[in-house]
Structure 1
């Protein structure tokens, strides 16, 4: 009997875990123009996605599968075109590869770009960030588990962008908003050098401006407590130009090791015990190791129909025991690159 229970436990544990060994990201474009989504695998991520960049015309959507333990980001590129030599480039979010596809060496994107960031495991962590600037609205909406938080920045932040941070086309229309660190390159804005800690690096007037417009999005490096969300084993919809962020029944954010914001907008001590980075990393390592152990012990195909017929009653027994490219290029203009004044789109 004990041996039978052990086999049942291992089998169902594997089936249970295998059901969450990947996530589906549905990338949707609700903008009135073509967006070229891009992806980036963080250097510490042992897995990668099947694509690094593609075309998404108005109203189109694409599903991308991400393996467990993937860490990386999505963003949208805008005002893209191909020149006479066949080199592809974008006014915002460009990868610098000269192609629609990006590469690991692109280090994410040529900012400014609004980012959707993920760290997947048994518990997923995700956020929308304007730390590297803003170029278009984005939302992240968990799909199956409706108690998980949605997040995003759904407004046109270019409208409130300070003059000195604006990126404009040749016709003076705003196409993006830079982050103060990118433009001014000062340690107090970049949280570097003597400001490389949450105690020293405070939210600047620029980041406070971003935060007032998009309160759920990362506005500067240490904006964790109000902007990092978590969800257990879910699929996600990432939408460009969403009309709104869907409300959820759970309004809490993920625990963060960094100080919380006080009522006066400053940074104070955390409220309650918060996990350290080392503890979070160690927990993820343990969960990943357990997953590999189960999968290594049972070299089975979880999608095999015969296996599923056998597993279904075993599952019940166990719990009874335990419980394209589009030619859009600056409308009637062509993209000519960057200069000190901003990004230009010249008349064809």
Structure 2
């Protein structure tokens, strides 16, 4: 609770101090937040509109970026990274070559948030390339279905041993069955290259049980792809899908499940002033 309130307070301070130009309504605001206990290096491809496609986020930190309508790409988290002052280095999972700023998609295994921004946005969280971090996508202030997508379970804890990626004896990622076994059945190709033939497998079912709103294999569309119009997005690492998150857009702070800044101030006032009075009785 205290951690959430601190995060909201920092965003409120940002609102008060900001005096930049009014953002265009055609932009989508992406707030990327790291709730993990470890540092995460988000990778974004293509990343021209996202700080070059890569940066560092320490635990509790957020980054606010803008993308134009028409952008289509993916966002993921990299772990165990080490970069020099020139942005050269590597990561244990999700690496996109030897650069801090990604020039290509990340290597498997990696949990992916995928977006196509149009008049009606399409977005999802995919485990088709495996899993390395819990990741959720929360649309805010949009119109339409606008469901929260993601995988907030940590599959590293339950990964089958034949899929596990380890470092110093610790599981740091969970590969997909396609990546490990490379068969048509697991990869939905060849004779299995259509949704009627390519069905869930033992491994994709394990992923789906843990993360019901994420893609578990290539044709897992009905329960995994989401749509929303005119929305901003909050992408969180290591956070519950039910957690309240906030975005800053058009000189306003808007939170999921709230009426925006007014609601935030009301809740903060109640916490700071009203609750102590109630506890005094």
Same fold, judged at TM 0.5 (above)? yes
Partners of 1:121 and 1:82 lie apart in 2 by 35
- What residue number does 1:222 align with? 219
Match of 2:37 among 32, 35, 42: 32
- What residue number does 2:163 align with? 165
Are 1:154 and 1:245, in contact at CA under 8 Å, matched by a contact in 2? no
Are 1:191 and 1:197, in contact at CA under 8 Å, matched by a contact in 2? yes
Match of 2:26 among 21, 26, 46: 21
SS at match of 1:194: helix
Partners of 1:50 and 1:219 lie apart in 2 by 30
- What residue number does 1:76 align with? 77
- What residue number does 1:148 align with? 146
- What residue number does 1:174 align with? 171
Partners of 1:167 and 1:99 lie apart in 2 by 22
Partners of 1:82 and 1:148 lie apart in 2 by 37
Partners of 1:41 and 1:222 lie apart in 2 by 24
- State the shift of 1:49 in Å: 4.2
**Larger Rg, first or second structure (1 or 2):** 1
- State the shift of 1:122 in Å: 0.9
- CA deviations 1:59-99 (Å, max 9, x no partner) are 1100110010111000000011248x984100100001x12
- State the shift of 1:200 in Å: 1.5
- CA deviations 1:21-63 (Å, max 9, x no partner) are 2100000011111100010139xxxx85442111111111001
For the aligned residue pairs, the C-alpha RMSD in angstroms reads 2.3
Runs of 5+ consecutive residues of structure 2 not aligned to the other structure: 1-22, 245-249, 251-281
Aligned residues, how many? 222
SS at match of 1:176: strand
TM-score for both structures, normalised by structure 2: 0.74
TM-score for both structures, normalised by structure 1: 0.60
- What residue number does 1:67 align with? 68
Runs of 5+ consecutive residues of structure 1 not aligned to the other structure: 1-17, 248-302, 304-348
